[in-house]
Amino acid sequence: GDQETGGVLLCAHHDAVLGTTGAEDNAAGVGCILAIAEALVDLKPRRSLKFVSFGTEEQLSQGAFTYVELPANRADELDLVLNIDSVGCWTGVNEVYLTGSAQLHQYLQQQMDALRWPGIIRDEPDGFSDHFPFTVKGVPAAWFFRRNCAGGRWFHHSIHETVDVLSPQVLADCASLCATVARDVATAPKLPYVRTLPPATRRAVQAVADGWLKV
């Protein structure tokens, strides 16, 4: 009742491609979300903290699109979405697909450096995970992802995507970073970045969305 509008939403998806175990894509992300929720359970945030596990991400994020279209969820008022999807492989490179302002990029890089979390921030919209429906609404978002070969993930959507490919330490490090960012943003008297998406970023997001409508 005393919370300001806006807030942080942390999300993952619990569906998987038929014929796979879904260990890395995306039981790993759901596990991170649950761990973060447990770590922040006693927090008294200034802004709301929401934790959501979506279905039908593998069908172009239909669950997330449905969520943002429901007025009761007030998705367009959010200050930040942190999407954890495919992060846990024991080998690879951390990447963050960031849709937001230059100040958000700088802020996130500072948090990564402070926690010594090695990763690459990619300032480009990507439509293939559950953060995208929120960016269409103009909400800044970061998708935490881990690539382990030049083409993406060698076991992606295959029978090889088992729990054996996951690293508990990699998962813990990603969850720690996301928990720190969520805590910081939710409790800050003033947002540590400009919330509004730059015009060029809005156009890039809309171009991706328009491309989907033509498929």
Look at residue 215 in the predicted model and tell me its pLDDT.
Answer: 44
Tell me how many degrees the CA angle 146-27-120 measures, rounded to the nearest 5: 15
**How sure is the predictor about 3, in pLDDT bands with cuts at 50, 70 and 90?**
low
Output the pTM of the full model.
Answer: 0.95
Look at residue 140 in the predicted model and tell me its pLDDT.
Answer: 98
What backbone torsions phi and psi does residue 83 show, to the nearest 5 degrees? -110, 120
Mean pLDDT confidence for 3-23: 90
Mean pLDDT confidence for 32-41: 98
Judge contact between 67 and 73, C-beta under 8 A.
Answer: yes
**How sure is the predictor about 8, in pLDDT bands with cuts at 50, 70 and 90?**
very high
Which tens digit of pLDDT belongs to each residue from 84-118? 999 999 999 999 999 999 999 999 999 999 999 99
Which tens digit of pLDDT belongs to each residue from 49-82? 999 999 999 998 999 999 999 999 999 999 999 9
